[in-house]
Amino acid sequence: MTDLVRRFAWPAPVEARALRQAARELLLAQASDWPFILHTGAGPDYARQRVTEHLTRFTTIRDQLLAGTVNEEWLASIETQSNLFPEIDVRYWG
């Protein structure tokens, strides 16, 4: 995330949206509940699925940003699914 924020210091509007969504996905993947669930064994398949889902989204966003081809339709879709912290400040990672 730090690398992305530094590379896109002056992002175009769609890049800014993608950076904010990448930050959300990263935070969701790191949420404390998932490691706890995996550690206790209470629903590990679900926890593993959620962590994988958020990390896959993060990686996809990163790859699209680096390639200069952000899929705005897909981005809009995941923005509605994972929409916590709507105005997250990605400069935190800068």
93 domain residue, yes or no? no
41 domain residue, yes or no? yes
70 domain residue, yes or no? yes
Residues 9-38 have pLDDT tens digits of 999 999 999 999 999 999 998 886 767 676
Residues 49-82 have pLDDT tens digits of 888 999 999 999 999 999 999 999 999 999 999 9
92 domain residue, yes or no? no
72 domain residue, yes or no? yes
49 domain residue, yes or no? yes
CA nearest to 18, candidates 66, 51, 50: 66
Give me the CATH number covering residue 42: 1.20.1430.10
| Domain encompassing residue 60 | 2-6+13-86
> Mean per-residue pLDDT for 31-46?
73
How many structural domains is the chain composed of? 1
In 1-94, alpha helices (H): 2-7, 13-29, 33-40, 44-67, 72-81
Tell me the whole-structure pTM to 2 decimals.
Answer: 0.89
